[in-house]
Chain A
Amino acid sequence: MLHTEIHQKLTSVFRDVFDNPALEISEATTAKDVEGWDSITHVNLIVAVEEAFGTSFTTKDVKGLTNVGDLIRLIAKRSA
Chain B
Amino acid sequence: MLKHDRSELDYGQLVKKARRLGPGSGPKLKLALLADVSTQHLTPLLRVLFASNGVDVEIYEAGFDTVEVESLDPNSGLYAFGPQVIVILQSIMKLKSNFYQGQEDRRSFAQAKAGAIEAVWSAIRVRSTAVIVQSTFVLPYERTSGNFGRVTGDSLLDSVEELNREICRHASQHPSVLINDVDYLAAWVGRGHFLDEKLWCLAKSFCALKYLPQVAQNIVDISLASLGRSVKCVVLDLDNTIWGGIIGDDGLEGIVLGELDEDGVFRSFQSFLKELSARGIILAVCSKNDEAVAREVFQKHPGMVLREEDIAVFIANWDDKAANLRRIRDTLNIGFDSMVFLDDSPFERNLVRQLVPEIIVPELPEDPALYVRALSELNLFETASQSSLDAGRAALYKDQQKREVESKKFATLDQYLESLQTTAHCQRFESATLGRVAQLIQRSNQFNLTTRRYSEAECKMMMEDRDRYFPFTISVHDRFGDFGLINVVILRLKPNEGVLEIDTFLMSCRVLQRGVEQLAMNKILDFARTGAYQCVLGQFIPTAKNMMVKSFFEQFGFRQTATSPEGATHWRMETADYVPRKVFISEQCGDGAM
- Name A's B-contacting residues (CB within 8 A): 16-17, 19, 39-40, 43-44, 46-48, 57-59, 62-63
Asked if B19 and A19 make an inter-chain contact with CB atoms under 8 angstroms apart, the answer reads yes
Whether B40 is near chain A, meaning CB under 8 Å from some CB there, is yes
5 nearest A-B pairs in the assembled complex, by CB-CB distance: A43-B203, A59-B201, A40-B40, A47-B209, A59-B198
A47/B40 in contact, CB under 8 A: no
Q: How far is the CA of A39 from the CA of B464 in the complex (A)?
A: 49
CB distance from A10 to the nearest CB of B (A): 16
**Are B198 and A58 in touch, CB under 8 angstroms?**
yes
A4 to B210, CA, bound (A): 29
B187 within 8 Å of A by Cβ? no
Q: Chain B contacts of A62 at CB under 8 A? A: 198, 202
Cβ contacts under 8 Å, B41 to chain A: 40, 43-44
Q: Residue B199 contacts which of A39, A43, A58 (CB distance < 8 angstroms)?
A: A43
Q: B445 to nearest A CB, angstroms?
A: 38
B202, A43: Cβ atoms closer than 8 Å: yes
Q: Does B12 belong to the interface (CB within 8 Å)? A: yes
Q: How far is the CA of A59 from the CA of B210 in the complex (A)?
A: 18
Point out the residues of chain A lying under 8 angstroms from B205, CB to CB. Answer: 43
Contact B19 A47 (CB under 8 A): no
In this assembly, does B16 line the interface, its C-beta being within 8 Å of a C-beta of chain A? Answer: yes
Q: Which residues of A contact B15 (CB under 8 A)?
A: 44
In the complex, what distance in Å separates the CA atom of A46 from the CA atom of B19?
19
Chain A to chain B contacts (Cβ below 8 Å), 9 pairs: A16-B12, A17-B12, A19-B16, A40-B40, A43-B209, A44-B15, A44-B209, A46-B202, A59-B201
How near does chain B come to A56, taking the closest CB pair, in angstroms?
Answer: 8
Among candidates A16, A17, A48, A63, residue contacting B202 with C-beta atoms closer than 8 Å: A63
Q: State how many angstroms separate the Cβ of A18 from the closest Cβ of chain B.
A: 10
Residues in B with CB closer than 8 Å to A44 are 12, 15, 41, 209
List 5 extra interface pairs beyond A19-B16, A43-B199, A62-B202, CB under 8 A: A19-B19, A43-B41, A44-B41, A48-B12, A58-B198
CA distance A8 to B408 in the complex (A): 77
Q: How far is the CA of A19 from the CA of B41 in the complex (A)?
A: 16
Is the contact region of chain A dominated by helix, strand, or loop, or is it mixed? helix
Task: Give A51 to B431 CA distance when docked, in angstroms.
Answer: 54
CA distance A58 to B199 in the complex (A): 10
With A and B bound together, what is the CA distance between A40 and B12 in angstroms? 13
**What CA separation (Å) do A37 and B12 show in the bound complex?**
15
Residues of chain B within 8 A (CB-CB) of A58 are 198
Give the residues in chain B near A47, CB-CB below 8 Å.
Answer: 199, 208-210
Q: How far is the CA of A76 from the CA of B199 in the complex (A)?
A: 22
If A16-B12, A44-B209 touch, whether A39 touches B198 (CB-CB below 8 Å) is no
Question: A59 contacts which chain B residues (CB < 8 A)?
Answer: 198, 201-202
CB distance from A31 to the nearest CB of B (A): 14
**Whole-angstrom CA separation of A65 from B486 in the bound complex:** 64
Question: How far apart sit A46 and B199, CA to CA, in the bound complex (Å)?
Answer: 10
Query: What residues of A have a CB within 8 angstroms of the CB of B201 in the complex?
Result: 59
- Chain B residues whose C-beta falls within 8 Å of the C-beta of A48 in the assembled complex: 12
Residues of B within 8 A of A43 (CB): 41, 199, 202-203, 205, 209
Report the minimum CB–CB distance from A53 to chain B (whole Å).
15
Q: How long is the Cα–Cα vector from A58 to B19 in the complex, in angstroms?
A: 29
Minimum Cβ distance to chain B for residue A12 (Å):
13
Q: How far does the alpha carbon of A19 sit from the alpha carbon of B439 in the complex, in Å?
A: 44
| Alpha-carbon separation in the docked complex, A62 to B197 (Å) | 13
Q: How far is the CA of A22 from the CA of B324 in the complex (A)?
A: 52
Interface positions of B from 298 to 325, Cβ below 8 Å from A: none
State which residues 9-24 of B face A: CB under 8 Å. 12, 15-16, 19
Query: How far apart are the CA atoms of A27 and B210 in the complex, in Å?
Result: 28
B204 to chain A, nearest CB (A): 10
A16–B210 CA distance with the chains assembled, in angstroms = 16
A39 to B209, CA, bound (A): 14
Q: Determine the distance from Cα of A63 to Cα of B208 in the docked complex, in whole angstroms.
A: 18
Most buried by A among B40, B199, B202: B202
Q: Report A-chain residues with C-beta under 8 Å of the C-beta of B19.
A: 19
Please measure, in the bound complex, the distance between the C-alpha atom of A13 and the C-alpha atom of B208, giving whole angstroms.
19
B199 to chain A, nearest CB (A): 7
Q: A29 to B369, alpha carbons, bound, how many Å?
A: 53
When C-beta atoms are compared, the residue in chain A nearest to B205 turns out to be A43
CA distance A35 to B489 in the complex (A): 55
User: Using Cβ atoms and an 8 Å threshold, which residues of chain B touch A39?
Assistant: 40, 203
